Structure 1
Amino acid sequence: MHSAPLPATKDVVLIGGGHAHALLLLKWGMRPLPGARLTVINPGPTAPYSGMLPGFVAGHYQRDDLDIDLVKLARFAGARVILGAADGLNPLAKLVHVQGRPPIAYDLASIDVGITSEMPDLPGFGDHGVPAKPLGAFAQSWEQFRQGSGAANIAVIGGGVAGAELVLAMAHALSQRGRLGQATLIDSGPVLGQASPEVAKRLRRAFTELRVSVVENTAVKRVAPDAVHLADGRIVLSDFTTGAAGARPHGWVAGCGLEMHQGFVTVGETLQSSDPDVFAVGDCAHLGFSPRPKAGVYAVRQAPILYHNLRARLTQDPLRSYKPQKDYLKLISMGAKEALGDRFGLQFSGPLVWSWKDRIDQNFMEQFRQLPKMEQPKLPPEHTHDLPAILGEKPMCGGCGAKAGRGALRAALTSLAPIQRRDVTTLPGDDAALIQTGGVQQVISTDHLRASVLDPVMMARIAAVHALGDIWAMGAQPQVATANLILPRLSPALQERSLSEIMAAAGAVFQAAGADIVGGHTSIGDELSIGFTVTGLCLSPPVTLSGAQPGDVLILTKPIGSGVIMAAEMSGDARGNWVAAALKQMCQPQGEASRILSGAHAMTDVTGFGLAGHLLGICEASDLAGSIDLSELPLMQGALSLSAGGIRSSLFEENRALAPYLPRGPEADLLFDPQTAGGLLAAVNPAEADGLLDQLRTAGYDAARIGGFTAGAAGLSLS
């Protein structure tokens, strides 16, 4: 008997990708809770690990070494990832607000957004300073500055241990490149005033060795582009000014209606806030029962308690208490590959301490770099002999990678009876149909996608742009749409949440395109599928596949590679920033591109059959030979690397069979990669090509001239 997936009944939303949440995702992936739907919200696809930041600043680590890939981690945990910064929480309505998307409903929520070093009250800092936290933005700014040339002056505002560690790392990095001019550590009170006398002594010795000047007991008046102006009238030269002056909570957290302590969420021993359905961990939390300084070690130790207590709230089991340690090992980087250790009043320093710290940090990160591979469900002992070959060795792709092949589709369509209605115009190979209605030309098309990402909002945007592709490819103006949705098994409450998110997200895409959603149909199945039937109006003769002419130039409006990237995302082989960039490309509407290319001789959208398959459709309909210049082919970030590594979408082999005579190779194979919500492929007059490309690029499209047409038998060649 077929075993259907168990329905989800509760939403657990993790706000922020801090250390505790990253560890929770790792644990959840190893032991998920049936019935719980997990979501993680973070501004970007990665979360930097603070323990390795000084080493990166000093030049001992690469930028990528710092990052926990939340996209990979979320896929491993079976969680949807929402790339956006939370800017509000409503505990009464149980909603999390993220700019640019519908609110996210939750049954349980946890906050782990860290702290910020922004100084909104310090004149000039917002324009000319770089906060040390959040770490991701700081790391990017420092990397760009460090790669520059010429002598450079730096200043760090905030003379605690974190500021000392930071200025030493910055001074070392610039010294190694022969660029260090002046390095200054500034504090309104005594520098290292909270550190033990022995720790302060050793750090001051390091300041002397790296020529770091100390300005203490002096306030900063304002920050200028190339200097820091002090309250006593002195000026500190600085081309790169950063702030590490204590921990500040994110502004939106203080306004969410929970009990606070100086802007931080007050939590009890179970890590619950004043609302028992909202937890908080890491630096954004205040341990009301046992206050502690802000340190990553507490977040790491809180992760197992948070993991247990979230599950316990969902299963109605007893919760556990978090017992913070009284002291912890402090390992302080000192610029070069040396570190200072401090615990229980004992200090130890040198290269061996750095090696020890490095090993601890690398071991922490390694658990996120080497995630266990997801295994295919085992087949029953008895099955048809060819079932393993049909299933393959990897999960079936979503999006256009899950579609039937062109050969199967053509075979099915040839058995249809001839068109009998006189108001329907048969078009050569186009996906849309042309209908005459009251003297108006109307096109109609339908398309739906098996979900390739777990976020219904992202999937709805992609599906809407994808369904509109056929309308835009014919030069028509979108008119109305009906929705066709298959929801996975969910509780009634989660069904309502998902439908609201999907319709709000898709409705915004259609509204922006000038169309309206006027109805639809829903059903329940094993997994999410989103589709739309769309109509459009042709105010001029439609652009079809059959009008290309010898000498025409081929223009493509979007890079290709979404098939291999999303296949790699499902298997855990794609980097999160590659996935984020691909999703952004797939969500880009093609309405303005369609308007710019309205005078094209022939046009199609590049979707399931890949660039080669859809170009072959133009060649066959226009009876021309087409050529592609691989050197001009725009590729999505990471696509070539994944293709070279052997990653292929489920539909690749069937697409490849459309033109078996073309050479193979990582780049050539991407011509057969099924695209989801791909770009427009247009045959245009060569005299107009450069002007059209300029217009497309000005409008924000990564458009390229990739080939052309010649007289000859329908087929493809590479140049």
Structure 2
Amino acid sequence: MKDLVLIGGGHSHAIALREFAKSPLLGIRITLISDVLQTPYSGMLPGYLAGFYTFDEAHIDLRPLANLAQAEFYCDRAIALDLQQNQVLCANRPPIPFDVLSIDIGSTPATLNVPGAATYAIPAKPVPKLLESWQQFREEVLQSPEQIRSLATVGGGAGGVELTLSIQAHLNKILAPQYRQNIEYHLFHSSSHILSSHSQYAARTLTKIMQNRGIHLHLNQTVTQLKKQTSERLELNCQSGLTLECDRIFWVTQAAAPDWLSASGLSTDNQGFIQVNHHLQSVSHPNIFASGDIATLLNNPRPKAGVFAVRQGKPLFENLCRRLQDKPLISYHPQQQFLTLIGTGTGKAVASRGRFGIGPFRLLWTCKDWIDRRFMEAIAPKG
């Protein structure tokens, strides 16, 4: 009997578990370790914030998925690896041995280099903490809608733009018209324009949408410090001298990896992400695989985007099976360009691929909704 251990319930692992449910592998014991019972599907998260989806619709319930794959499920947090003994060390249970290990734990925004960010900002990941903070703020707004409030988002990539638009759209939906102007929205970005890695069309279009909706864009602004202004308010300081008082600060900047991965002895890049080859296999430890945001393809690095985690699911499953059976591994070749559909929070979306962009159109959101629901129906058993 060989032990396959999966750390994390990310998109690639969800797909791999579904494939194991369809095609069980004899003589293999599968264990899934995740610190959450329900993992968010990134494609539906902005729609959930905007109020288009329920919590269950936008989350993958890992326990029934693990049951289908006949996998043992431990709701726990991995904190280290013992690569001499081939064991995963967890926060609340004895070490878990493995013959083959796969890691798909996503990433977190890099905040540690900005004083006060780790204490006062709400990072976009891990998502459960983001959603908890959002629900708390939503309830505060509903309880006293007459109060003047200010929200700030740090990071002008697709994640920060979509988060801001979705939150504003949701609050506008639930607030009476006379209270909607009581909330100010600010977005800070260190570059001269938002969506730097997307088409110019998408950047121009979404800039115009945000400005038309009264969202304050602070471009060429590097945030240098967050601190407590009063018992209830925060202060955001920029390198330029710009200062803003706000009630919540969402942090959606470049991704980072947990320190325990590099400390374990795995080969990692400068940001701590696991370096893998074209088999999604660690370049330093051939019995370890990684996928999604936590992995960096050594010879073909790609952006940290959910589309790659989804595309890696089946190649990862295939190579885990092959490694367990001592068979040659297959290659994974990521696409060089990919389509991004950025929701406006109002039932429309802007499409961006390479230099090409169109929208905002309701049809694009309808297509995105169809794709996302189809994926969830295929991957996430309910009950």
In structure 1, stretches of 5+ residues that fail to align are 1-8, 372-572, 574-719
1:357 to 368, 372, 377: 368
Per the TM alignment, residue 117 of structure 1 is displaced from its structure 2 partner at its CA by 1.4
2:105 to 105, 113, 116: 113
Per the TM alignment, residue 344 of structure 1 is displaced from its structure 2 partner at its CA by 4.2
1:261 aligns with 2:269: yes
Q: Equivalent residue for 1:331?
A: 341
Distance 1:265 1:242 in 2: 26
Per the TM alignment, residue 187 of structure 1 is displaced from its structure 2 partner at its CA by 1.8
- How many residues align? The count is 364
Distance 2:13 2:58 in 1: 16
Distance 1:344 1:92 in 2: 44
Secondary structure of the corresponding residue to residue 185 of structure 1? strand
CA RMSD after TM alignment? 1.6
| 1:34-53 mapped onto 2 (5 Å cutoff) | 34-53=26-45
| 1:509-588 mapped onto 2 (5 Å cutoff) | 573=383
TM-score (normalizing by structure 1): 0.49
2:209 to 203, 206, 209: 206
TM-score (normalizing by structure 2): 0.91
Distance 2:170 2:155 in 1: 20
Q: Equivalent residue for 1:271?
A: 280
1:299 aligns with 2:309: yes
Per the TM alignment, residue 197 of structure 1 is displaced from its structure 2 partner at its CA by 1.5
Amino acid at match of 1:259: S
Distance 2:278 2:248 in 1: 41
Q: Equivalent residue for 2:297?
A: 287
Secondary structure of the corresponding residue to residue 63 of structure 1? coil
Once the two structures are superposed, residues 553-583 of structure 1 have per-residue CA deviations (whole angstroms, 9 ceiling, x without a partner) of: xxxxxxxxxxxxxxxxxxxx3xxxxxxxxxx
For the pair shown, which has the larger CA radius of gyration, 1 or 2? 1
Amino acid at match of 1:360: I
Per the TM alignment, residue 238 of structure 1 is displaced from its structure 2 partner at its CA by 1.9
Distance 1:305 1:127 in 2: 39
Per the TM alignment, residue 343 of structure 1 is displaced from its structure 2 partner at its CA by 2.1
Amino acid at match of 1:54: P
Per the TM alignment, residue 103 of structure 1 is displaced from its structure 2 partner at its CA by 0.9
Q: Equivalent residue for 2:246?
A: 238
1:321 aligns with 2:324: no
1:32 aligns with 2:40: no
Per the TM alignment, residue 198 of structure 1 is displaced from its structure 2 partner at its CA by 1.1
The answer as to whether partners of 1:159 and 1:190 remain within 8 angstroms in 2 is: no
The answer as to whether partners of 1:10 and 1:36 remain within 8 angstroms in 2 is: yes
Distance 2:118 2:108 in 1: 13
Amino acid at match of 2:278: E
Q: Equivalent residue for 1:166?
A: 163
Distance 1:343 1:160 in 2: 15
Distance change (3 Å), C-alpha of 1:147 and 1:60: farther
Distance 1:175 1:231 in 2: 32
Distance 1:348 1:191 in 2: 18
Distance 1:143 1:92 in 2: 43
1:343 aligns with 2:349: no
1:154 aligns with 2:151: yes
Per the TM alignment, residue 125 of structure 1 is displaced from its structure 2 partner at its CA by 2.1
Secondary structure of the corresponding residue to residue 336 of structure 1? coil
The answer as to whether partners of 1:154 and 1:237 remain within 8 angstroms in 2 is: no
2:199 to 196, 199, 208: 196
Distance 1:63 1:237 in 2: 31
Amino acid at match of 2:275: T
| 1:580-599 mapped onto 2 (5 Å cutoff) | none
Distance 2:172 2:239 in 1: 29
Secondary structure of the corresponding residue to residue 88 of structure 1? strand
The answer as to whether partners of 1:226 and 1:237 remain within 8 angstroms in 2 is: yes
Per the TM alignment, residue 161 of structure 1 is displaced from its structure 2 partner at its CA by 2.1
Distance 2:276 2:40 in 1: 25
Secondary structure of the corresponding residue to residue 106 of structure 2? coil
Distance 1:172 1:238 in 2: 19
Once the two structures are superposed, residues 259-302 of structure 1 have per-residue CA deviations (whole angstroms, 9 ceiling, x without a partner) of: 11121111001111021000000000001121111111111111
Per the TM alignment, residue 101 of structure 1 is displaced from its structure 2 partner at its CA by 1.2
| 1:480-519 mapped onto 2 (5 Å cutoff) | none
Distance 1:124 1:64 in 2: 33
Q: Equivalent residue for 1:87?
A: 79
The answer as to whether partners of 1:167 and 1:183 remain within 8 angstroms in 2 is: yes
Per the TM alignment, residue 235 of structure 1 is displaced from its structure 2 partner at its CA by 2.0
Distance 1:194 1:21 in 2: 27
